[in-house]
Amino acid sequence: MIRREIALEVNGRSVHASVEPRQSLADYLRDGLDLTATHLGCEHGVCGACTLLLDGEPVRGCITLAVAAEGRRVDTLEAFDEDPLMNLLRQAFSEHHGLQCGFCTPGMLLMARDIILSDRVASDAELRVALSGNICRCTGYAGILRAISAAREAWQARPHAATGPA
């Protein structure tokens, strides 16, 4: 079995690993590093349960190879325990019933945070489209959409909103 050595940064720590070239980033994080917040719902790039950040951009961990993360920064939901925007989202998801079984939730949260930070949606319809790569089978999306809108409002209304990133 061929293996490749990789070095990357995961949730703020530098990591060296030896992986099979075919191993997905999601499998490496889950099995190699025990970071199980990254869920696998389809393993073929459709459902978004495996959403994580690669150099700050949301990608699908199931169709990103671990070797492709060489020299790059990976962040999973585990990195956001103290993140102020993520905490607003957590509160909003709970208040607006944005989760039922919780399986899609980590992917939803990472995507929602990116949508709010990038300030790329202006309407409910745009928010729906921005979220269309993340499938939830339980909620019918109503609670998720309400939660993201509420968190976005709270984020924009925070003191010193204009003065910098999260």
Partner 1 sequence: MGGEGSGFGIGDAVRRKEDRRHLFGRGQFTADLRIPRLQEVAFLRSPIAHGRIRAIHVPEGLRDRVVLAGDLRGARSIRAVTDAPGFNAADFPLLASDKVLFVGQPVAMCLAPSRAEAEDIAQAIDLEIDELPAVVDMEAAVRPDAPLLHEGWGRNVFLTREFEAGDLERARAEAAVTIERTYRLNRQAGVSMEGRAILAHWDDRLDELVVWNSTQMPHQVRYALALHLDLDEHRIRVVAPDVGGGFGLKNIVYPEEIAVAALAAQVRQPLRWIEDRREHFLASIHCRETLYNVTAFATAEGRLLGVDVTVQVDAGAYATWPNGPNMELGMAIKNVPGPYRLEAYRARGWTAATNKAPIGPYRGVARPGACFCIERTIDEIARAVGREPHEVRMENMVRPDQMPYRSLTNMLYDNGDYAESVRIAADLVDVASVRARQAQGEADGRLIGVGFAAYTEQTAHGCGEWITRGVPIIPGYESCTARLMSDGSLQLLVGIQSHGQGLETTLAQVAHHELGVPFERISVRHGDSALSPFGMGTFASRSMVMAGGAVARASRMLAARIRPIAAQLLQCTPDAITLRDGAAHGPQGSVDFAEIGRVAYVRQEGLPRDAAPTLDVTATYSPEIDTGVFCYSTHAAVVAVDPGTGTVEILDYAVVEDCGTIVNPMIVDGQIVGGVAQGIGNALYEEIPYDTSGQPLATTLADYLLPGAPAIPGIKIAHMCTPAEHTEYGMKGMGEGGAISPPAAIANALRDALADTGAELCETPMTPRRVLAAILAAESRIHAREAAE
CA atoms 16, 24, 39, 92: torsion sign: positive
Site for ligand FES, rule CB under 6 A: 40-43, 45-50, 60, 62, 99-104, 136-139
**Can you tell me the distance from the alpha carbon of 37 to that of 80, in angstroms, rounded to the nearest whole number?**
11
Q: From the centroid of its chain, how far is CA 150?
A: 18
Residue closer to ligand FES, measured from CB, 141 or 155: 141
- Binding to partner 1 in span 80-109, by CB under 8 A: 81, 90, 93-95, 97, 99-106, 109
CA atoms 70, 75, 79, 84: torsion sign: positive
Say whether 18 sits in a helix, a strand or coil.
Answer: strand
Residue closer to partner 1, measured from CB, 44 or 160: 44
Q: Could you tell me which of 120, 143, 142 has the C-alpha nearest to residue 130?
A: 120
From 4, 15, 33, 46, residue interacting with partner 1 (rule: CB under 8 A): 46
Q: Which residues bind partner 1 (CB under 8 A)?
A: 20, 22-23, 27, 30-31, 34, 36-44, 46-47, 49, 76-78, 81, 90, 93-95, 97, 99-106, 109, 125, 127-129, 131-145
